[in-house]
Amino acid sequence: MLYREAGQFKATYAEDSQIFPIRQDKIGFWLLMLVFGVAVPLFTNEYWLKAILIPVLIFSLAAIGLNILTGYAGQLSLGSAAFMAVGAFAAYNFILRIEGMPFLVALVLAGLTAAAVGILFGLPSLRIKGFYLAVATLAAQFFIVWALVKFPWFSNNSSSGVVTAQDVTILGYTFVTPEAKYILTFLIVAFMALLAKNMVRSSTGRAWMAVRDMDVAAQVIGFRLMRTKLLAFAVSSFYCGVAGALYAYTYIGTVEPEGFNLDLSFKILFMIIIGGVGSIMGSFLGAAFIVLLPIFLDNVVPAIFGDSLGAGFVSNFQLIVFGGLIIFFLIVEPHGLARLWQIAKEKLRLWPFPH
């Protein structure tokens, strides 16, 4: 009854092609922004900000990156964590080695570095596809982490490759409190998500989807495969790189290359499978789900089965639940949580008169 576009007429093309064509959606979106941008930092405690909200935002950004590559352009990648590592270490080195480097510029440069590396490892995608490419992206994963550990220059000669992120300062203001860091992360992620949403709605995104659906056919009707694929790799790596830099600067604080291992890559892949392959909104839902699930299990499993089982049981149980959920989602709802949301919206438009 409330959620209906009756009476909202589109008189121009610009009105017709906006992101939220229905007024209720627009109001809902701004409400959401207000809640997460203003109310949340004001009213939640430090634990929620540090352990849940900031990582959810950062992983959402990484998931958007992978979603652009896998969900929109159809190139399966198992190396997203490595590109996050490139971003994190690039930001560290730019700030360390260039006097007076502004944080936001370093962030963009870190993203660009990751994008350059991404293009390099995207080159094989021009020749190979499918599983062969998925395995090839593992090369990026192992090689990048190895290089970051082996060459001490990257970590400023720190003995074990561990680096401590410098203070984040923008225009003389230093972001120290979790609230400030949260708001900074929130603004960056919101901006980049909007950018991604517009990218996938434009001709760039349509080119990616054409290549995803059938690259030979896309080539035949005039899409330049090389440009399209490499652009997808570059944009995806850019997003992962920025996510990695934020991971180091606003979330963890100290990072080591080994932290960006294959497990993290899989985690990001799971986020887009559960959230929704080929959906920006799904990236957020998936990231929230994957971050919250272990915390939920940690609290619930001992409550149900008792404390006697020990930490090993809980972590194994987590593995099984993770894997089981992936299989469950792939079988029952291959388009993920985003699709459920869409179905709910369609139902809501007809409610309470379904005919």
In the bound complex, what is the minimum distance in angstroms from residue 137's beta carbon to another protein?
9
Between 23 and 150, name the residue whose CB sits nearer to another protein: 150
Secondary structure, 3-state, 238-261: HHHHHHHHHHHHHHHCEECHHHCC
What contacts 335, CB < 8 A, 6 or more positions away?
Answer: 276, 277, 278, 279, 282
SS3 27: helix
Of all helices (H) and strands (E), which one includes residue 168? strand 168-170
SS3 320: helix
Residue showing tokens 């995803």: 212
CA 315 to chain centre: 24
Between 166 and 318, name the residue whose CB sits nearer to another protein: 318
Q: Which residues bind another protein (CB under 8 A)?
A: 76, 124, 127-128, 130-132, 134-136, 138-139, 142-143, 146, 149-151, 214-217, 220, 262, 266, 269, 273, 312-313, 316-320, 322-327, 330-331, 334
Between 102 and 124, name the residue whose CB sits nearer to another protein: 124
Between 181 and 335, name the residue whose CB sits nearer to another protein: 335
Between 253 and 334, name the residue whose CB sits nearer to another protein: 334
Of all helices (H) and strands (E), which one includes residue 163? strand 163-164
Between 97 and 150, name the residue whose CB sits nearer to another protein: 150
Q: How many CB atoms lie within 10 A of CB 25?
A: 15
In the bound complex, what is the minimum distance in angstroms from residue 222's beta carbon to another protein?
13
Ramachandran bin of 172, using left for φ above 0, alpha for ψ from -120 to 50, beta for the remaining angles: left
In the bound complex, what is the minimum distance in angstroms from residue 307's beta carbon to another protein?
17
CA atoms within a 13 Å half-sphere pointing along the CA-CB vector of 182: 23
Between 123 and 170, name the residue whose CB sits nearer to another protein: 123
Between 35 and 217, name the residue whose CB sits nearer to another protein: 217
In the bound complex, what is the minimum distance in angstroms from residue 57's beta carbon to another protein?
24
CB 50 within 8 A of CB 189: no
- Give the chain's count of helices (H) and strands (E): 16, 4
Q: How many CB atoms lie within 10 A of CB 327?
A: 10
Q: Among 216, 305, 300, 241, which residue's Cα sits nearest to residue 69?
A: 241
